Amino acid sequence: MREKRFLSLLRQAVKRYGMIQEGDRIVIGVSGGKDSMALLWGMKELSKFYPKRFEVLALMVDLGFGFQSGDEREVWAYCKKMGVELEVVRTQIGKIVMEERKEKNPCSLCAKMRKGALVERVLLMGGNKIAYAHHKDDFVETMLLSLLFQGRFYAFPPVTEFEDTKLTVIRPMMLVEEGQIKGFCKRYQVPVMKNGCPVDGKTKRAYVKELLSKMQKEHPEVKERMFHAVTHGGFEDWPKEL
Q: Tell me, what's the pLDDT at 202?
A: 67
Q: Tell me, what's the pLDDT at 103?
A: 62
Q: Tell me, what's the pLDDT at 100?
A: 63
Residue 106 in any domain: the answer is: yes
Residue 148 in any domain: the answer is: yes
CA within 13 Å, CB half, 61: 23
Interatomic CA distance for residues 27 and 30, integer angstroms: 9
Tell me the pTM.
Answer: 0.90
Residue 241 in any domain: the answer is: no
Residue 239 in any domain: the answer is: no
CA within 13 Å, CB half, 208: 17
- Closest CA relative to residue 177, chosen from 17, 6, 18: 6
Interatomic CA distance for residues 14 and 57, integer angstroms: 17
CA distances from 26 to 18, 36, 147, 157, 191 (A): 14, 13, 32, 17, 21
Where does the pLDDT of residue 1 fall: very low under 50, low under 70, confident under 90, or very high at 90 and above? confident
CATH number at residue 223: 3.40.50.620
What is the mean pLDDT of the segment spanning 70-83?
A: 85
Q: Tell me, what's the pLDDT at 115?
A: 85
- List, for residues 122-178, the tens digit of each pLDDT value: 999 999 999 999 999 999 999 999 999 999 999 999 999 987 888 999 999 999 999
Q: Tell me, what's the pLDDT at 59?
A: 95
- List, for residues 96-126, the tens digit of each pLDDT value: 776 666 666 677 777 788 888 889 999 999 9
When mean pLDDT is compared across 72-81, 89-98, 183-192, 220-229, the lowest value belongs to 89-98
User: How many structural domains does the chain have?
Assistant: 1
Structural domain including 140 reads 3-231
CB-neighbour burial class of residue 166 (10 A; exposed 0-12, middle 13-18, buried 19+): exposed
- Closest CA relative to residue 137, chosen from 113, 171, 101: 171
Virtual CA dihedral for 22, 178, 105, 198, nearest 10 degrees?
-110
Mean pLDDT estimate for the chain: 89
Q: Tell me, what's the pLDDT at 69?
A: 43
Residue 242 in any domain: the answer is: no
Residue 36 in any domain: the answer is: yes
Residue 237 in any domain: the answer is: no
Residue 236 in any domain: the answer is: no
- List, for residues 17-70, the tens digit of each pLDDT value: 999 999 999 999 998 889 999 999 999 999 999 999 999 999 998 877 655 444
